[in-house]
């Protein structure tokens, strides 16, 4: 990475805000939208993300974004790198033939879907999201993509809540890179 990469990560980290007891008592909610409400922070984060992908995940030809916060980074990265932007959405939002997968969240559960048409031979994808907590969302997306024959190069998240050890739910052999970690 470029020399000032760590400094830029620290600068970005200083912009992130947390909200205790949202959306339920006992949850400390890390709000990506508070940070990107600031224009220069958007530019800072976009630069960090693109540099991270070029260095750590070279050769991808698609970015898969997890609804909804993952979409923020999937389109911006896909546009920057000139690769496909593919959606994984919550149940009932995608037309055509879909594959689904049920998963658990830090709070509650949900179902993710992907269009079969999104998966083409030779697809080498990077899955992106704002945050890994229990790892349920990323794990579900990984299973969805693998079930359909996609090659997953890795996963990139902005934040990682290490105390929840979400990595234990990620299938072995799949690299997960996080920019900012919290205990
Ligand atoms: O590691 P996990 O325990 O799965 O939790 C992380 C996921 O939870 C949040 O999404 P959420 O499903 O709340 O919806 P949103 O992105 O639409 O806000 C967050 O954006 C991640 O996608
Ligand atoms: N603690 C948390 N903060 C923000 N988004 C989340 N998604 C799941 N857990 C979360
Ligand atoms: Mg999400």
CA nearest ligand 1 atom 17, residue: 68
Total structural domains within the chain: 1
Would you state the pLDDT for residue 1?
Answer: 66
Quick check: 133 and 164 in contact, CB under 8 A? yes
Mutate to test the pocket of ligand 2, among 22, 27, 66 (most ligand atoms within 8 A of CB): 27
More confident residue, 1 or 65: 65
pLDDT class of 106 with cuts at 50, 70, 90: low
Which tens digit of pLDDT belongs to each residue from 115-168?
Answer: 999 999 999 999 999 999 999 899 999 999 998 899 999 999 999 999 999 999
CA atoms within 13 A on the CB side of 139: 18
Average pLDDT over residues 70-84: 98
Please tell me the number of the ligand nearest to residue 161's CA: 2
The CATH number given to whatever domain includes residue 100 is 3.40.50.2020
In this structure, the residue with its CA closest to atom 7 of ligand 2 is 133
Ligand nearest to the CA of 164: 1
Atom of ligand 1 lying closest to residue 132 CA: 1
What is the arithmetic mean of pLDDT over 166-180? 97
- In angstroms, the CA 167 to CA 160 distance is 9
Is residue 69 annotated as part of the catalytic site, yes or no?
Answer: yes
Domain that holds residue 29: 5-182
The order of strands in the sheet holding 176-182 is 98-104, 109-115, 84-90, 62-66, 124-132, 151-161, 176-182
**Residue 71 clears pLDDT 80, i.e. is over it:** yes
**Model confidence pLDDT, tens digit, residues 80-102:** 999 999 999 999 999 999 999 88
Is residue 106 among the annotated active site residues? yes
Nearest to 127 by CA among 115, 143, 104: 143
- CB neighbour burial string for 69-100, b if at least 16 within 10 angstroms, e if fewer: bbbbbbebbbebbebbbbbbbeeeebeeebbe
Say whether pLDDT at 2 is over 80. Answer: no
Secondary structure (3-state) at 17: strand
């Amino acid at each position: 990475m470029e020399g000032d990469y760590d400094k830029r990560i620290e600068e970005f980290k200083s912009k992130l805000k947390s909200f205790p007891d949202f959306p339920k008592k006992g949850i400390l909610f890390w709000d990506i939208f508070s940070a990107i409400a600031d224009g220069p922070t958007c530019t800072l984060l976009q630069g960090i993300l693109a540099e991270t992908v070029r260095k750590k995940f070279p050769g991808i030809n698609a970015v898969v974004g997890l609804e909804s916060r993952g979409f923020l980074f999937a389109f911006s990265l896909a546009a920057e790198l000139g690769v496909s932007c593919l959606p994984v959405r919550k149940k009932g939002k995608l037309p055509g033939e879909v594959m689904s997968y049920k998963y658990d969240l830090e709070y509650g559960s949900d179902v993710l879907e992907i269009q079969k048409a999104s998966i083409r031979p030779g697809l080498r994808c990077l899955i992106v999201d704002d945050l890994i907590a229990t790892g349920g969302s990323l794990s579900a997306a990984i299973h969805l993509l693998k079930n359909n024959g996609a090659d997953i190069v890795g996963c990139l998240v902005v934040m990682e809540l290490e105390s929840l050890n979400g990595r234990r739910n990620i299938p072995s052999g799949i690299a997960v890179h996080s920019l900012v970690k919290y205990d």
